[in-house]
Chain A
Amino acid sequence: MALLEITNLHAAVDGREILKGIDLTLDAGEVHAIMGPNGSGKSTLSYVLAGRDGYEVTEGRVLYKGHDLLALTADARARAGLFLAFQYPVEIPGVAGTTFLKTALNAVRKERGEGELDAMQFLKFVRAKAKRLDIGDEMLKRALNVGFSGGEKKRNEVLQMAVLEPTLAVLDETDSGLDIDALKIVADGVNALRAPERAMLVITHYQRLLDYIVPDRVHVLAHGRIAKSGGKELALELERKGYAEFLGEAA
């Protein structure tokens, strides 16, 4: 059984259809990249999978571990092992990063039938993961994402992913706004999470990220559909030729 099976997925935002019949299957242990020009529906796909309000599925289905993912609320999807790394992580003044992460982790652990961690256990657990991403205590304690640089926000997303240990991670343009050093740190963090039981959907506009996070499959999204699929060499081809062949009017 596939970990994620998307069949003929149509979705609309504000009554306008953005996804127009997506078919995609992802097995455990795989990393797939979704590339495509701006406006092709990449972020919409990530929000539909994560369950954001206002993204209305009009047709098709999404099975996650064989169950109807779309029937779950956003928080239930996360507790079931889905994780979305945001393109633009949200700043939340007044909520300390550690408080947020501990609340999230314990919600997820409870769902998995694991015990909640107390403050000391939690700090020890998080510090070990944070160190790898060059995130210190001071950054952990600050209000969530408030005043963070672009690189800090993305590292913080990867930290959350490392802490919550999802089964399916969707990375929405995690490379945007990163310089090469920050990109390497983020990619190292992501690669460390590659595991036989875990799948990743890496959404990106540029091939550059895929030098560091090497995908098993690459799909081109255009006009709300998968227009082409291939191996990792497809990314290099897109880098060379651009998206011109996919930019014409949809059939």
Chain B
Amino acid sequence: MASTGAFVEQFAAVEPTLGGSTGLHALRAVGLARFRAAGLPTPAVEAWKYTNLEPLAALGLAPAATAPGASTRVPEAAVAAVDGHRIVLVDGRVDRAQSALDGLPRGVTVESLAALIARDPAAAEAELGPVPDGLPLVALNTAFVGDGVVLRLARGVVLDKPLHVISIASGPLAFHPRHLIRLAPGASATVVESHVGAAGGFANVVIDVALDAGAALRHYTLQNQGNETFHVAAVRATLAARADYQGFVLHQGGRLARHELVATIAGEGVECRMAGLSLIAGSQHVDNTTFVDHVVGASRSRQLFKAVIDDAGRGVFQGRVMVRPDAQKTDAHQLSRALLLSRKAEMDGKPELEIYADDVRCSHGAAVGSLDQEPMFYLMSRGIDAATAYRMLVEAFAVEALDEIADAAVRQAFGARVGNWLADRRAQEGRARLSPAASGVA
């Protein structure tokens, strides 16, 4: 039987402290039951073919306190350097003292989910919706749902600056924040997430996004967790006609990290873009999984995921695109490219196109390779030493993915993190390595 770790045992003690109405308590109980039935995902489950959460069970992590404890300060050097409104969570609980939400434009509300639950538990329950099938960690998140960020934009409202959601882990604890992003017709916003913190915890993040007709969300995620941390995030986006969702995730931390996007295209003229860059080293494991469901036609989806993998790191990309029978004129593309910097590095990919409509344009591609020798020689033939040429080419591969970030300030902030990561690699190695194989990246 699949392992459930300490979560089931902890539920009885923790759940009553999370607040809410009878209905919400019942919803959490359903979440727990679904999670208990499925257990922590292992490669036995198709959606987790290359990623195993079983080792999490052995850690027996304590649940985060339901009241904010001693405040852990924002580690400014570790979060994305983005100027914007700011809301801070410590161990999954909103920390108002460190947040900066003055000056939000009219028609924009940011509140904590805990406040919504206290103010209007029925509304909170309705917003959370039913517990889905087939997503055991969303079920687990629902079982422990208690806080998170609720962002709402009224019709046609534009959020003037990015909302920066900073999630800090104070220690080896388990926490399950739930964020709700609701954009009314024609509204537009940029949300930046930074996940940082001490080593060894488990962050189980769920973000529910609903974009009404013509609404636009730019959603940028920096996953810079501590090295022993398990980080799992699921973004569930429902996109109405002409909605525009642009997601980007930069992974550079964690022991095991997974970012999952489940996007439902429910109207025509939708633009859904998801891109990512994973910087993987040591024995890190990073999984990007997407499911883009074209229910209605005449929409576009684009995916580009790149990974730079060193040491014995492992990258995973699972991209599933469904084009339902009525989704004619769908235009869907996905591409995964990985650069392996060591013989022990590994990349696993599983693209899946399921197409039930006949008038569509769909494609996918995947390439895995080591650094090409031809550009190395070209740079060196101009006097550039091997170590510098190597760094330039790895950086070039990585930085290309950042072009998917439409917001220039965020692109620059994430670019700086890529530069830091490469500098750290060099410092740790103390030397440049020429990759042994001559096979190129297609």
Contact = CB atoms under 8 A, between A and B. Distances in A.
User: For chain B, what secondary structure do more than half of its interface residues adopt (helix, strand, loop), or is it mixed?
Assistant: helix
Contact of A92 (B383, B388, B393, B398): B393
Given A90-B378, A103-B388, A95 B383 contact: no
A90 B386 contact: no
Interface in B302-336: none
B396 A95 contact: yes
A104 B396 contact: no
B375 A90 contact: yes
Interface in A94-116: 94-95, 99-100, 103-104, 107-108, 111
Contact of A86 (B378, B385, B395, B397): B378
Contacts of B378: 86, 89-90, 92
A186 interface: no
Interface in A62-101: 73-75, 77-79, 83-84, 86, 89-90, 92-95, 99-100
A143 B400 CA distance: 10
Given A52-B377, A103-B392, A94 B400 contact: yes
Nearest to B372: A90
B374 A95 contact: no
A154 to B, nearest CB: 14
B383 A78 contact: yes
Contacts, number: 76
A99 B383 CA distance: 14
Q: Which of A50, A95, A160 has the most chain B CB within a 10 Å cutoff?
A: A95
A73 B380 contact: yes
A67 to B, nearest CB: 17
Interface residues of B, number: 23
A93 B383 contact: no
Contacts of B377: 50, 52-53, 74, 90
Interface size class of A (residues with CB under 8 A): 20 to 34
A164 interface: yes
Nearest to A84: B381
Contacts of B379: 92, 100, 104
Given A53-B373, A53-B377, A93-B400, A75 B392 contact: no
4 A-B pairs closest in CB distance = A94-B396, A78-B383, A104-B382, A90-B378
Interface of A: 50-53, 73-75, 77-79, 83-84, 86, 89-90, 92-95, 99-100, 103-104, 107-108, 111, 143, 160, 164
27 contacts: A50-B381, A51-B381, A74-B380, A75-B380, A75-B382, A75-B386, A75-B389, A83-B381, A84-B381, A86-B378, A90-B377, A90-B378, A92-B375, A92-B396, A93-B396, A94-B397, A95-B396, A99-B392, A100-B392, A103-B392, A104-B379, A104-B383, A107-B382, A107-B383, A107-B384, A160-B382, A164-B382
